[in-house]
Structure 1
Amino acid sequence: MNLEKIFRISASGLKANRIWMTVVASNLANANTTRTDDGQPYKRRTVIFEASSLEDGGFRNVLQKENDYYGVKVVDVVPDGRDFRRVYDPSHPDANDEGFVLFPNINPVEEMANLLEAARAYEANMTVVDTSRQMALKALEMGR
Protein backbone atom coordinates (compact mmCIF):
# COMPACT_ATOMS: atom_id res chain seq x y z
CA MET A 1 0.00 0.00 0.00
CA ASN A 2 1.43 3.36 -0.91
CA LEU A 3 1.68 6.35 1.39
CA GLU A 4 -0.86 8.40 -0.54
CA LYS A 5 -3.54 5.74 0.00
CA ILE A 6 -2.78 5.61 3.71
CA PHE A 7 -3.21 9.37 3.99
CA ARG A 8 -6.40 9.32 1.93
CA ILE A 9 -7.92 6.54 4.05
CA SER A 10 -7.07 8.36 7.27
CA ALA A 11 -8.33 11.65 5.86
CA SER A 12 -11.68 10.04 5.05
CA GLY A 13 -11.90 8.77 8.62
CA LEU A 14 -10.96 12.18 10.01
CA LYS A 15 -13.64 13.87 7.94
CA ALA A 16 -16.33 11.33 8.84
CA ASN A 17 -15.55 11.49 12.56
CA ARG A 18 -15.50 15.30 12.52
CA ILE A 19 -19.01 15.26 11.04
CA TRP A 20 -20.10 12.71 13.64
CA MET A 21 -18.74 14.86 16.48
CA THR A 22 -20.55 17.89 15.06
CA VAL A 23 -23.86 16.00 14.94
CA VAL A 24 -23.40 14.73 18.50
CA ALA A 25 -22.60 18.26 19.70
CA SER A 26 -25.75 19.52 18.00
CA ASN A 27 -27.78 16.79 19.71
CA LEU A 28 -26.37 17.72 23.11
CA ALA A 29 -26.94 21.42 22.52
CA ASN A 30 -30.59 20.79 21.65
CA ALA A 31 -31.36 18.23 24.36
CA ASN A 32 -34.02 20.53 25.86
CA THR A 33 -35.30 22.24 22.70
CA THR A 34 -39.05 21.73 22.81
CA ARG A 35 -39.92 23.75 19.72
CA THR A 36 -38.12 24.12 16.41
CA ASP A 37 -39.17 26.01 13.27
CA ASP A 38 -41.66 23.27 12.40
CA GLY A 39 -43.27 23.50 15.85
CA GLN A 40 -42.01 20.07 16.96
CA PRO A 41 -39.27 19.26 19.47
CA TYR A 42 -35.75 18.83 18.14
CA LYS A 43 -35.25 15.36 16.67
CA ARG A 44 -32.05 13.57 17.54
CA ARG A 45 -29.91 13.08 14.46
CA THR A 46 -27.58 10.23 13.67
CA VAL A 47 -24.89 9.72 11.06
CA ILE A 48 -24.94 6.94 8.46
CA PHE A 49 -21.46 5.76 7.41
CA GLU A 50 -20.57 3.71 4.36
CA ALA A 51 -17.37 2.13 3.12
CA SER A 52 -16.17 4.08 0.14
CA SER A 53 -13.78 3.75 -2.74
CA LEU A 54 -11.35 6.62 -2.79
CA GLU A 55 -10.23 5.87 -6.30
CA ASP A 56 -11.61 7.64 -9.34
CA GLY A 57 -14.97 6.26 -10.37
CA GLY A 58 -15.68 4.54 -13.61
CA PHE A 59 -14.60 1.49 -15.51
CA ARG A 60 -11.15 1.30 -13.93
CA ASN A 61 -12.60 0.47 -10.49
CA VAL A 62 -14.72 -2.32 -11.89
CA LEU A 63 -11.63 -4.04 -13.35
CA GLN A 64 -9.32 -3.52 -10.35
CA LYS A 65 -10.91 -5.55 -7.58
CA GLU A 66 -8.01 -4.85 -5.17
CA ASN A 67 -9.19 -1.23 -4.99
CA ASP A 68 -12.67 -2.07 -3.73
CA TYR A 69 -12.94 -0.06 -0.51
CA TYR A 70 -10.49 2.40 0.94
CA GLY A 71 -12.07 4.56 3.56
CA VAL A 72 -15.36 5.74 4.91
CA LYS A 73 -17.83 8.43 3.98
CA VAL A 74 -20.90 9.96 5.55
CA VAL A 75 -23.87 8.97 3.42
CA ASP A 76 -26.48 10.94 5.32
CA VAL A 77 -27.43 12.56 8.60
CA VAL A 78 -30.92 11.30 9.46
CA PRO A 79 -33.38 11.95 12.27
CA ASP A 80 -33.70 9.25 14.89
CA GLY A 81 -37.00 7.38 14.83
CA ARG A 82 -37.48 7.16 18.59
CA ASP A 83 -40.48 8.82 20.22
CA PHE A 84 -40.22 12.11 22.08
CA ARG A 85 -40.11 12.10 25.88
CA ARG A 86 -43.36 13.20 27.51
CA VAL A 87 -42.90 15.22 30.70
CA TYR A 88 -45.72 16.54 32.84
CA ASP A 89 -45.16 20.29 33.31
CA PRO A 90 -48.36 22.32 32.95
CA SER A 91 -46.47 25.60 33.56
CA HIS A 92 -44.23 25.09 30.49
CA PRO A 93 -45.19 27.33 27.53
CA ASP A 94 -45.16 24.32 25.17
CA ALA A 95 -47.40 22.15 27.36
CA ASN A 96 -50.46 20.66 25.66
CA ASP A 97 -54.01 20.75 27.06
CA GLU A 98 -53.22 17.84 29.39
CA GLY A 99 -50.07 19.55 30.75
CA PHE A 100 -47.53 17.35 28.96
CA VAL A 101 -44.49 18.72 27.15
CA LEU A 102 -42.68 16.80 24.42
CA PHE A 103 -38.90 16.87 24.82
CA PRO A 104 -36.30 15.63 22.32
CA ASN A 105 -35.48 11.93 22.28
CA ILE A 106 -31.90 12.60 23.39
CA ASN A 107 -30.08 10.66 26.11
CA PRO A 108 -27.06 12.77 27.20
CA VAL A 109 -25.20 9.68 28.46
CA GLU A 110 -25.58 7.98 25.08
CA GLU A 111 -24.49 11.15 23.29
CA MET A 112 -21.39 11.50 25.48
CA ALA A 113 -20.49 7.87 24.77
CA ASN A 114 -20.89 8.57 21.03
CA LEU A 115 -18.75 11.69 21.39
CA LEU A 116 -15.99 9.71 23.12
CA GLU A 117 -16.14 7.01 20.45
CA ALA A 118 -15.93 9.57 17.65
CA ALA A 119 -13.08 11.43 19.37
CA ARG A 120 -11.10 8.23 19.87
CA ALA A 121 -11.63 7.20 16.25
CA TYR A 122 -10.47 10.66 15.20
CA GLU A 123 -7.36 10.31 17.40
CA ALA A 124 -6.65 6.87 15.94
CA ASN A 125 -6.72 8.28 12.41
CA MET A 126 -4.42 11.11 13.47
CA THR A 127 -2.03 8.53 14.93
CA VAL A 128 -2.00 6.65 11.61
CA VAL A 129 -1.19 9.86 9.74
CA ASP A 130 1.57 10.79 12.18
CA THR A 131 3.10 7.30 12.24
CA SER A 132 3.03 7.05 8.43
CA ARG A 133 4.70 10.44 8.14
CA GLN A 134 7.41 9.40 10.60
CA MET A 135 8.00 6.13 8.75
CA ALA A 136 8.32 7.99 5.44
CA LEU A 137 10.83 10.41 6.98
CA LYS A 138 12.86 7.50 8.41
CA ALA A 139 12.87 5.81 5.01
CA LEU A 140 14.20 9.01 3.43
CA GLU A 141 16.91 9.25 6.10
CA MET A 142 17.97 5.64 5.41
CA GLY A 143 18.37 6.53 1.73
CA ARG A 144 21.01 9.16 2.44
Structure 2
Amino acid sequence: MTDAISSALRIAASGLEAQSTRLRVVAENVANARSTGEGPGTDPYRRKTVTFTSEIDRLTGAEIVRVKDVGLDRSQFKSEYDPGNPAADGNGYVKMPNVSPLVEMADMREANRSYEANLQVVKQARELINLTIDLMRG
Protein backbone atom coordinates (compact mmCIF):
# COMPACT_ATOMS: atom_id res chain seq x y z
CA MET A 1 0.00 0.00 0.00
CA THR A 2 2.82 2.43 0.72
CA ASP A 3 4.12 1.98 -2.84
CA ALA A 4 0.72 2.99 -4.19
CA ILE A 5 0.56 6.01 -1.91
CA SER A 6 4.11 6.96 -2.83
CA SER A 7 3.27 6.71 -6.53
CA ALA A 8 0.13 8.79 -6.06
CA LEU A 9 2.13 11.46 -4.25
CA ARG A 10 4.81 11.57 -6.96
CA ILE A 11 2.18 11.82 -9.72
CA ALA A 12 0.28 14.56 -7.88
CA ALA A 13 3.48 16.47 -7.10
CA SER A 14 4.50 16.43 -10.75
CA GLY A 15 1.04 17.70 -11.68
CA LEU A 16 1.24 20.48 -9.10
CA GLU A 17 4.61 21.58 -10.44
CA ALA A 18 3.47 21.51 -14.08
CA GLN A 19 0.25 23.42 -13.41
CA SER A 20 2.12 25.94 -11.28
CA THR A 21 4.37 26.69 -14.26
CA ARG A 22 1.33 26.95 -16.49
CA LEU A 23 -0.33 29.43 -14.11
CA ARG A 24 2.85 31.52 -13.97
CA VAL A 25 3.00 31.69 -17.78
CA VAL A 26 -0.69 32.62 -18.03
CA ALA A 27 -0.15 35.40 -15.46
CA GLU A 28 2.79 36.71 -17.48
CA ASN A 29 0.69 36.68 -20.66
CA VAL A 30 -2.17 38.58 -18.99
CA ALA A 31 0.24 41.11 -17.49
CA ASN A 32 1.71 41.81 -20.94
CA ALA A 33 -1.53 41.78 -22.95
CA ARG A 34 -1.04 45.48 -23.83
CA SER A 35 2.80 45.60 -23.95
CA THR A 36 3.81 47.14 -27.27
CA GLY A 37 7.26 47.33 -28.78
CA GLU A 38 9.63 50.09 -27.77
CA GLY A 39 9.52 51.95 -31.06
CA PRO A 40 7.93 52.05 -34.52
CA GLY A 41 8.07 48.67 -36.27
CA THR A 42 9.30 46.76 -33.22
CA ASP A 43 7.48 43.64 -32.14
CA PRO A 44 5.33 43.66 -29.02
CA TYR A 45 5.21 41.00 -26.33
CA ARG A 46 4.67 37.54 -27.83
CA ARG A 47 2.34 35.16 -25.99
CA LYS A 48 4.05 32.24 -24.26
CA THR A 49 2.74 28.69 -24.29
CA VAL A 50 3.46 25.63 -22.15
CA THR A 51 3.95 22.14 -23.54
CA PHE A 52 3.81 19.08 -21.30
CA THR A 53 5.32 15.64 -21.65
CA SER A 54 4.92 12.44 -19.68
CA GLU A 55 7.80 10.33 -18.44
CA ILE A 56 8.33 7.35 -16.21
CA ASP A 57 9.47 8.17 -12.69
CA ARG A 58 12.55 6.07 -11.95
CA LEU A 59 11.80 5.83 -8.24
CA THR A 60 8.21 4.57 -8.42
CA GLY A 61 7.74 3.48 -12.04
CA ALA A 62 4.70 5.77 -12.26
CA GLU A 63 3.99 7.94 -15.27
CA ILE A 64 4.39 11.60 -14.32
CA VAL A 65 3.96 14.90 -16.14
CA ARG A 66 6.73 17.41 -16.76
CA VAL A 67 6.94 20.76 -18.51
CA LYS A 68 8.58 19.99 -21.82
CA ASP A 69 8.91 23.55 -23.07
CA VAL A 70 7.81 27.12 -22.51
CA GLY A 71 7.57 28.33 -26.08
CA LEU A 72 6.26 31.26 -28.07
CA ASP A 73 2.93 31.50 -29.88
CA ARG A 74 3.75 32.30 -33.51
CA SER A 75 0.30 33.64 -34.39
CA GLN A 76 0.01 37.09 -35.98
CA PHE A 77 0.10 40.27 -33.98
CA LYS A 78 -2.99 42.51 -34.00
CA SER A 79 -2.81 46.11 -35.20
CA GLU A 80 -4.54 49.03 -33.55
CA TYR A 81 -4.79 52.60 -34.71
CA ASP A 82 -3.08 54.71 -32.05
CA PRO A 83 -1.06 57.50 -33.68
CA GLY A 84 0.00 58.96 -30.32
CA ASN A 85 1.72 55.75 -29.23
CA PRO A 86 5.55 55.83 -29.43
CA ALA A 87 5.43 52.40 -31.12
CA ALA A 88 3.10 53.62 -33.92
CA ASP A 89 4.31 53.27 -37.49
CA GLY A 90 4.08 56.02 -40.11
CA ASN A 91 0.37 55.32 -40.62
CA GLY A 92 -0.42 55.46 -36.89
CA TYR A 93 -0.80 51.70 -36.39
CA VAL A 94 0.72 49.88 -33.45
CA LYS A 95 1.51 46.17 -33.35
CA MET A 96 -0.27 44.68 -30.34
CA PRO A 97 0.54 41.41 -28.53
CA ASN A 98 -1.05 38.19 -29.75
CA VAL A 99 -2.58 37.68 -26.29
CA SER A 100 -6.32 37.18 -25.91
CA PRO A 101 -7.38 37.81 -22.30
CA LEU A 102 -10.41 35.56 -22.85
CA VAL A 103 -8.21 32.63 -23.91
CA GLU A 104 -5.84 33.29 -21.03
CA MET A 105 -8.66 33.33 -18.48
CA ALA A 106 -9.99 30.01 -19.81
CA ASP A 107 -6.49 28.54 -19.65
CA MET A 108 -6.06 29.86 -16.11
CA ARG A 109 -9.34 28.27 -14.97
CA GLU A 110 -8.34 24.92 -16.46
CA ALA A 111 -4.88 25.05 -14.90
CA ASN A 112 -6.37 26.05 -11.55
CA ARG A 113 -8.80 23.12 -11.63
CA SER A 114 -6.01 20.69 -12.48
CA TYR A 115 -3.88 22.14 -9.68
CA GLU A 116 -6.73 21.72 -7.19
CA ALA A 117 -7.36 18.13 -8.30
CA ASN A 118 -3.70 17.26 -7.73
CA LEU A 119 -3.79 18.98 -4.36
CA GLN A 120 -6.79 16.82 -3.38
CA VAL A 121 -4.77 13.70 -4.22
CA VAL A 122 -2.00 14.90 -1.88
CA LYS A 123 -4.52 15.55 0.89
CA GLN A 124 -6.12 12.11 0.46
CA ALA A 125 -2.72 10.39 0.48
CA ARG A 126 -1.79 12.25 3.65
CA GLU A 127 -5.01 11.07 5.30
CA LEU A 128 -4.27 7.48 4.27
CA ILE A 129 -0.78 7.71 5.71
CA ASN A 130 -2.15 9.08 8.99
CA LEU A 131 -4.77 6.31 9.14
CA THR A 132 -2.09 3.69 8.53
CA ILE A 133 0.06 5.14 11.32
CA ASP A 134 -2.94 5.13 13.67
CA LEU A 135 -3.68 1.48 12.82
CA MET A 136 -0.09 0.50 13.48
CA ARG A 137 -0.15 2.20 16.89
CA GLY A 138 -3.37 0.67 18.12
- Fold conserved between structures, TM > 0.5: yes
SS in 1 for 2:18: helix
Task: Please show how residues 102-113 of structure 1 align to structure 2 within 5 Å.
Answer: 102-113=95-106
AA matched with 1:11: A
1:41 equivalent in structure 2 = 44
Deviant stretches of 4+, over 3 Å: none
The match for 2:56 is 53
CA RMSD of aligned residues (A): 1.8
Please list, as runs of the form range in 1=range in 2, the aligned pairs for 1:1-144 lying within 5 A after superposition.
1-35=3-37, 39-55=42-58, 67=61, 70-143=63-136, 144=138
Q: Structure 2: which 5+ runs fail to align? A: none
Instruction: Single out whichever of 42-51 and 1-10 deviates more from structure 2.
Output: 1-10
What's the % identity of the aligned pairs?
38
Equivalent residue letter for 2:47: R
TM-score where L is the length of structure 2:
0.89
- Aligned residue for 2:63, secondary structure, equals coil
TM-score (norm 1): 0.85
How many Å separate the matches in 2 of 1:55 and 1:33?
42
Which 5+ residue runs of structure 1 have no aligned equivalent?
Answer: 57-65
User: 1:6-44 deviations in whole A, cap 9, x for unaligned?
Assistant: 1111110000000000000000000011026xx420000
